[in-house]
Amino acid sequence: MEAIHAGIFSIVPPVLAIILALLTKDVVFSLLMGILSGTIIYTILAGLNPLVAPVEVLFNTSFANLDLYIIFFVFLLGALVQVISLSGGSAAYGRWGSRYLRSRRSTLLATAGLGCLIFVDDYFNCLTVGTVMKPLTDRQKISRAKLAYLIDSTSAPVCIIAPISSWAGAVGSSLRATGSFASDFSAFCATIPYNLYALLTLLMIVFLIFTGWDFGPMRKQEEMSAASTAPDDTARQAESPCKSGTVTDMVLPIVLLIVLAMLGMLYNGGFWAAGEPGYHSLTGALNNCTAAQALCWGGFGAVLFAFLLYVPRGLITFKEFMACVTEGFKNMIPANSILVLAWTISGLCRDQLLTAEFVRDAMTRSQIPGALLPAIIFVVAAFLSFSIGSSWGTFGILIPIIVPVATALSPNLLIVSLSATLGGSIFGDHCSPISDTTILSSTGAGCDHLTHVATQIPYALLVAGCCLFGYLVAGFSDGNLLLMFGATLAALISLITIMHFSCQKHAVSLPKEI
């Protein structure tokens, strides 16, 4: 399937899918329509059979972009959650955690802290944090939308500033391909202090937790949850335990999942491989690992361990265990369906090089003033990543363009421009309806996908607007880090305060802190 340059038509499939999702509230239908529009555009421009080719291109693209390891991992995690819940382990863990996390604030801080600790891979983060923290956040009547926001905000934004992560390897490979840096790892580390979107997202989480100043749709979800009328009450009741499991019955399978996944990443990353120079280090192995494969191994090992932990003791019968596995698989079908469709529409754009060529032409033909370069790059990266739902795809497209453009126009702003590229790429991964981590965050939290998107977008847009201001300051101050960060942080705090007081008169009081 050859690449087609479609110009402005390249953004039609993802934009159409996003608009339909927001209008119809049906993600699957919206993604299918977006994909179909893309295959029709490709068929027309390539001069193929208009009756057969759209469907042929659809399935070719879909199968080419499937990540079966992630699909199986999601299924296995669904099964693990189900059997842990039936054993009574989740309820016991909730009762135990409530002794130490006695307020909303402490529970939210613990959730955010756990998300920051699991920085190796974003998929791993999204599903693990939700599984561990759901029983505790439910007991504090924290909405599932808020939990999904915390999970999503501590996955990609944390991974992109963690030198030891699968993301560092992906960015490093793109930097290495430009041939402009003596050390791609050092170049990646240099971008961290200037990655405003990632840093401000984390600071916003802390500020919101301590002040409780939620606004917009998130405020409404929190008020509904505090009044015990949230739409996810039914889901919470469904998690009621049927057995007399203990905290150990929940903690051990989850810990084993984490340990096996980490060991799997080191193994397939070549940590113990013979004759592989550069792989015999923690950083090298994690940068070269196949995270999805390791997660699948860890998920299978955790489910098998849960079987050996529960069934021989009589806590769960064999039939109950297998019924839970089947039910867990069923529960994850919607999430996997959305994932497959999201991968397809993202792959459709990448495989045809539609968006890539459109952005490349726009960047190379325009005469950009050097001082405006970081801000413009941030906007372009944010728009592109939101459209295709992939941060890796975005910085994979943009970094080879940005490095020569920044070197020619404003060499002293090269690192700032790269940081703007990474930060803008994270924006789409953080909040796009068709982003895989957005989908997995809502899945891990047990939150409706579009509810998660609607409640998170105002927060993400607020941070993105402050980042745009920050990169303008950086451009005109010749990359002054303190001035850039100080101005951006002041703008963020000011805007959150304004948003809070503007809607306070209509707010319902949330539970008091203990």
DSSP string of 235-260?
HHHHT--SS---HHHHHHHHHHHHHH
Higher pLDDT, 423 or 394: 423
C-alpha span between 32 and 221 (Å, rounded): 29
CA-based max dimension of the chain: 72
Sign of torsion over alpha carbons 146, 151, 152, 154: positive
Among 34-38, 172-176, 249-253, 259-263, the minimum mean pLDDT is found in: 172-176
Residue 402 and residue 495 in contact, taking contact as beta carbons nearer than 8 Å: no
Q: Is residue 488 a contact partner of residue 199, using CB atoms and an 8 Å limit?
A: no
Most confident of 185-194, 241-250, 384-393: 185-194
Q: Give the SS3 label for residue 509.
A: coil
So what's the pLDDT on residue 254? 82
Instruction: Give, rounded to a whole angstrom, the gap between the first and last alpha carbons of the chain.
Output: 61
**pLDDT tops 90 at residue 306:** yes
Q: Return the DSSP state at 413.
A: G
Q: What is the pLDDT of residue 242?
A: 52
Q: Nearest Cα to 428, choosing from 117, 170, 160, 214?
A: 160
- State the pLDDT at residue 457: 92
Neighbours of 277 (CB within 10 A): 7
Q: Is 246 left (phi over 0), alpha (psi -120 to 50) or beta?
A: beta
Q: Distance between CA atoms of 423 and 439, rounded to whole angstroms?
A: 20
Compare 509 and 177 and report the one with higher pLDDT.
177
89, 94, 145, 179, 248 from 305: Cα distances, Å: 14, 21, 31, 47, 13
Residues near 493 by beta carbon (within 8 Å), at least 6 away in sequence: 207
What long-range pairs does 275-281 form, CB within 8 A, spacing at least 24?
A: none
Sequence letter at residue 410 = S
Q: Report whether 291 contacts 265 (CB < 8 A).
A: yes
> Which DSSP string do the residues of 179-215 spell out, in sequence order?
T--S-HHHHHHHHGGG-HHHHHHHHHHHHHHHH----
Confidence bin at 58 (pLDDT 50/70/90): confident
Q: What is the pLDDT of residue 471?
A: 93
Burial pattern 437-452, b for ≥16 Cβ within 10 A else e, equals bbbbbbbbbbbbbbbb
Please compute the mean of the pLDDT values over residues 465-477 and round it to a whole number.
Answer: 93
- For the ranges 244-253, 333-342, 369-378, 499-508, which has the lowest average pLDDT? 499-508
Q: Which residues contact 390 (CB under 8 A, 6 or more apart)?
A: 346, 350, 428, 429, 435, 436
Tell me how many degrees the CA angle 65-70-71 measures, rounded to the nearest 5. 85
Query: What is the value of pTM for the model shown?
Result: 0.75
* Residues present in the chain in total: 514
